[in-house]
Amino acid sequence: MEVTNKNNLKFLDFLFVNESEIYHYQRLAGSYAVIKCEVQYLLCYNTRRKQWELPAGHREDDETPKECAARELYEETGQLVEELKFKGLLKVKNLLNGEIKFNPVYFSTLEKLMPFQNNCETSEIRLWDLNEPLSYVDEVDLKIFDYME
């Protein structure tokens, strides 16, 4: 597998905290949605960064971190989930400016995937078993899988 870090982010830690405590961590950034379907995980191909990633993105206005994760999951992959469970905070460092940020990570399962439609950010989705060789998987995203069981 060829791994890249095209986001200029470095994984620092995964913090197991209560969801009610996340606002104590600054800078609180956008949310991730980790979706498991049977024994595989959902990835989307980001056309701008040209790599496989977990669905994630920035919060909008008064959106909660959980609402952000659900919206990004739908916008990037077309998937709707009934419940997202908070798993913890991803702590990363921006290698360009040194900023530390914390990303809420949510998890859910699906029995089967809904149909996907190309959009301005994502050209393809797939289920991945964490072993099959893929080119250009986001390095930080790979670390998140270590904390999902």
Residue 67 sits at the vertex; the CA angle it makes with 63 and 69, to the nearest 5 degrees, is 120
For residue 49, cis peptide bond before it (omega within 30 degrees of 0): no
Q: Is the pLDDT of residue 4 over 70?
A: no
Q: Is the pLDDT of residue 1 over 80?
A: no
| Predicted model pTM | 0.94
pLDDT tens digits along 10-65: 999 999 999 999 999 999 999 999 999 999 999 999 998 889 999 999 999 899 99
The residue segments making up the domain with residue 36 are 2-147
How many domains does the chain divide into? 1
**Distance, CA of 27 to CA of 82 (rounded, Å):** 28
DSSP 3-state of 116: coil
pLDDT at 29: 96
**Distance, CA of 53 to CA of 6 (rounded, Å):** 11
Q: What is the CATH number of the domain that holds 115?
A: 3.90.79.10
pLDDT tens digits along 58-92: 999 899 999 999 999 999 999 999 899 999 999 99
* Burial label, 17 (beta-carbon count in 10 A; 0-12, 13-18, 19+): middle
